[in-house]
Chain A
Amino acid sequence: MASEVRPRTAESVEADLKVRPYETVRRYEATEITTIVRAVLRAMGATLKNLFRKPVTVHYPDKERQYPSRYRGLLALTYDKETGEENCIGCRLCEYVCPPAVIKVEMLKSEKRNYAKTFTLELYACEFCELCVQVCPTDAIVMMKSFDMPTADRREMLLDKDRLHAIGLQYEQSWATGNRLRDMQTPPKAPAPAHAPKPAATTQGSADPGKSGADPVGPRVETV
C-alpha cells in the first residue's frame, strides 16, 4: 500500500508518530473506500460494455480483411500494361541495393532493350524494406496488397521469375512504385519552367509530368 503523498517536515513526522506510532497500521478513510468501490464498478463496467460489443476478430482464411490503401506486402514483377511485355530490364539495381542480398538477377542482352534472364527472390529472407521497389527504374518490381503465402516448406518461398510474375497478376498492386516514390523525394520543381523542360533525373519515364505533381499527394489522403 503506497503511503500518502504529502510534503513532510520534521514537525509533521513527529506529529504523525504521536498520532500513529506504527505506519503499517493504516486506516482506510471513507473517501478512499468510495474511490475503491467506484474503481471496482468502473472496471466491471468496462468489461461489461465489451461483452455486448461486436468482436473485432476477422475470420482470416475465410474472410479477407480490407487492406489499407497504402499496404505493401509480397513482392512481384509486373508486365507493361499496354504492350504486355515484361517491365524488367535486368539492370540489377535491386540486386545491388538489397540489404539481405536475397535478389539475384542475370541480364539478357537484346537489341532494343535488355531483359532479365533469371530473376530469383528468396522471400524467406526478405526484410520487406522496399528498397528494390524504390530503385527500380521501370517499375518492374512492386509490392502487392497481400501477405498470403503460407507454406509448409520454405523452399517454396524461393521465387523465380515466373512465380514473381504470377504473383503480380494474382493480387492487387500496391500504390507505391519506383517512379512515384522517387518523385516524392525529389525537391519540388519550379512552378513554371521558363527554359527547356528539365530532362528526367533517372533514365526512363520518371518525369511523366502529369503524374509527378498530383500522385504523391493523392494517395496519401486515402491513407487509413
Chain B
Amino acid sequence: MPSWLTLLIAPFIVLNVVIGLVTYVTLLERKFAARMQSRIGPYRVGPHGLLQPIADALKLMMKEDVVPTAADRRIYNLAPIVFLIPCMLIFATIPFAPGLGVADVNIGILFFLAVSAMEIVGLFMAGWGSNNKYALLSAMRAVNQIISYDLPFIFSALVPVLLAGSLKMSDIAAVQQGSPLKWFIFYPVIGQLAFIMFIVSTLAAENRVPFDILEAESELVAGFRVEYSGMKFALIQLGEYAHMIGSSFLGALLFLGAWSGPGPEYLGPIWFLLKAMFIFLVVTWIRWSFVRIRVDQILALSWKALLPATLGLLITTAVVVVWRTSGF
C-alpha cells in the first residue's frame, strides 16, 4: 500500500466516525433534554426515535437552498465550510487509544486550542455575509465572547498539561493510567477547581446555555445562522456539535484519564467515548438548568473572575509541581 493512501485512510475513518457520532449525539441530547422536562423526546421515527437523526439529515438535504438577495454571496457560501473545517480538525490530534489517532503530534494540546478558536472566522463570515442585522449582531457577540473565554479555556486546559509535564495528548493520557485516583480531576483541590473552570469556559467557548447570547433563542432567532437553510445549515450545525464533542473528548482526556478503565485494553476507546459523553451530558444538564446571562455579566465573569482565577490556579499548579518534583 502506498504511504499516501495509509495517510488518507485514518483521517477518512475518523471523519466518518465523527460525523456519525455527531448526528447521533443530537438524538442523545434531545432525548436527555426531553427527560429533564418530563417529556419523551423523538419517538415516532423508528423504535424510540432511533432513526430521527437520519430523517433530519434527509430532510435538510431535500430543503431548498435559499440565498438572500442582499447577501455577500461568496462569503455567505464559503462560511459553513470555513466554520466546519476547524471543528473537524480538532479531532486530528486526539488519540482515541494508545497509538490510535490521526496525528499524535507533540504539541497536540496547542494545536487543539489554536484550531478550535479558529471557528470564529467562519462564524463571523456567516454573520457578515448574511447581510442580516440579527446575524451580524450575533456574530459580533460571538467574537466578543470567544475572545473573552479563550484565555480562561486555555489556562484551565494548561493545568493538566503542567501536571503531566507534556503538551502531547497521549503523554497526558498515559500519566493518568492505572487507577482512577491518578485522573487529574482527583488531584487534590487543583484538579477539581481546574475541572469546574474548564467546564465553565468550555460552555462559553461553545456558546452554550447559559452563555448563549449569540443565539439567544428569544431575541436573535438562530443567531448567525438565521439566513441559512438546507445543507448549509446542516454543515453549521454539524460543526457546532463536532466542536462540542471535540471539547468533551478533550475534557475527558485532560481530567478523566482518557482510555483508562477496567477491562481489557481494546475497551479503552469505549471508556474514552463514555467519559466524553458524560461531559457532554453534564453540559446539556447545565443547559436545561439555567437561564441566559446578560452580555455584561458574561464579560464580567470572564475578565473579573475566571481569568484571574485560572491564571492564579496555573501559577499555583506550577509551584506545586516544582515543589513536588524538586522536593524542597
Seen from chain A, the residues whose Cβ lies within 8 Å of a Cβ on chain B are 1, 40, 43-44, 46-48, 50-51, 53-57, 59
Assembly CA distance A1 to B40 (angstroms): 37
Assembly CA distance A51 to B37 (angstroms): 7
Instruction: Give the residues in chain A near B289, CB-CB below 8 Å.
Output: 43-44, 46-47
User: Is B4 at the interface (CB under 8 A from chain A)?
Assistant: no
Assembly CA distance A51 to B38 (angstroms): 7
**Max chain A C-beta neighbours (<10 A), residue from B32, B288, B289, B297:** B289
With contacts A1-B297, A43-B289, A44-B286 known, is A51 near B39, CB below 8 A? no
User: Is B43 at the interface (CB under 8 A from chain A)?
Assistant: yes
User: Is B35 at the interface (CB under 8 A from chain A)?
Assistant: yes
User: Is B147 at the interface (CB under 8 A from chain A)?
Assistant: no
The B99-114 residues at the A interface (CB cut-off 8 A) are: none
Instruction: Give the residues in chain B near A59, CB-CB below 8 Å.
Output: 40, 43
Q: How many A-B residue pairs have CB under 8 A?
A: 36
Instruction: Give the residues in chain A near B32, CB-CB below 8 Å.
Output: 51
The B24-48 residues at the A interface (CB cut-off 8 A) are: 32, 34-40, 43
Instruction: Give the residues in chain A near B266, CB-CB below 8 Å.
Output: none
With contacts A1-B297, A59-B43 known, is A53 near B38, CB below 8 A? yes
- B297 pairs with A51, CB closer than 8 A: no
Instruction: Give the residues in chain A near B328, CB-CB below 8 Å.
Output: none
- B36 pairs with A51, CB closer than 8 A: yes
With contacts A1-B297, A55-B39 known, is A47 near B285, CB below 8 A? yes
Assembly CA distance A40 to B293 (angstroms): 13
Q: Which residue of B lies closest to A42 (CB)?
A: B289
User: Is B290 at the interface (CB under 8 A from chain A)?
Assistant: yes
Q: Show 14 residue pairs from A and B whose CB-CB distance is below 8 angstroms, ordered by the A residue.
A: A43-B290, A46-B289, A50-B37, A50-B38, A51-B35, A51-B36, A55-B34, A55-B35, A55-B38, A55-B39, A55-B40, A57-B39, A57-B40, A59-B43
- A50 pairs with B285, CB closer than 8 A: no
Q: Which residue of B lies closest to A25 (CB)?
A: B304
Assembly CA distance A38 to B233 (angstroms): 39
- A47 pairs with B36, CB closer than 8 A: yes
Assembly CA distance A43 to B290 (angstroms): 7
Instruction: Give the residues in chain A near B38, CB-CB below 8 Å.
Output: 50, 53-57
- A50 pairs with B35, CB closer than 8 A: yes
Assembly CA distance A40 to B290 (angstroms): 8
Assembly CA distance A54 to B34 (angstroms): 11
- A44 pairs with B285, CB closer than 8 A: yes
Assembly CA distance A43 to B38 (angstroms): 16
The B271-328 residues at the A interface (CB cut-off 8 A) are: 285-286, 288-290, 297, 300
State how many angstroms separate the Cβ of A136 from the closest Cβ of chain B.
41
Q: Which residue of A lies closest to B32 (CB)?
A: A51
Assembly CA distance A46 to B34 (angstroms): 14
Q: Which residue of B lies closest to A45 (CB)?
A: B289
Instruction: Give the residues in chain B near A46, CB-CB below 8 Å.
Output: 289
Assembly CA distance A202 to B280 (angstroms): 69
The B193-245 residues at the A interface (CB cut-off 8 A) are: none
**Max chain B C-beta neighbours (<10 A), residue from A1, A50, A54, A56:** A50
State how many angstroms separate the Cβ of B199 from the closest Cβ of chain A.
12
State how many angstroms separate the Cβ of A65 from the closest Cβ of chain B.
15
State how many angstroms separate the Cβ of B214 from the closest Cβ of chain A.
21
- A50 pairs with B34, CB closer than 8 A: no
State how many angstroms separate the Cβ of A2 from the closest Cβ of chain B.
11
Question: A1-B300, A47-B36, A51-B285 are known contacts; what are 20 more A-B pairs with Cβ within 8 Å?
Answer: A1-B297, A40-B290, A43-B289, A44-B285, A44-B286, A44-B289, A46-B289, A47-B285, A47-B289, A48-B285, A50-B37, A50-B38, A51-B35, A51-B36, A53-B38, A55-B35, A55-B39, A56-B38, A57-B40, A59-B40
Instruction: Give the residues in chain A near B39, CB-CB below 8 Å.
Output: 55-57
- B43 pairs with A50, CB closer than 8 A: no
Assembly CA distance A28 to B95 (angstroms): 42
Instruction: Give the residues in chain B near A55, CB-CB below 8 Å.
Output: 34-35, 38-40
Instruction: Give the residues in chain B near A43, CB-CB below 8 Å.
Output: 289-290
Q: Which residue of A lies closest to B286 (CB)?
A: A44
Assembly CA distance A47 to B35 (angstroms): 9
Assembly CA distance A48 to B37 (angstroms): 10
Instruction: Give the residues in chain A near B286, CB-CB below 8 Å.
Output: 44
Instruction: Give the residues in chain B near A51, CB-CB below 8 Å.
Output: 32, 35-36, 285
State how many angstroms separate the Cβ of B72 from the closest Cβ of chain A.
38
Assembly CA distance A54 to B289 (angstroms): 18
Instruction: Give the residues in chain A near B35, CB-CB below 8 Å.
Output: 50-51, 55
Instruction: Give the residues in chain A near B34, CB-CB below 8 Å.
Output: 55
Closest 6 CB pairs of A and B: A43-B289, A47-B289, A57-B40, A44-B289, A47-B36, A56-B38
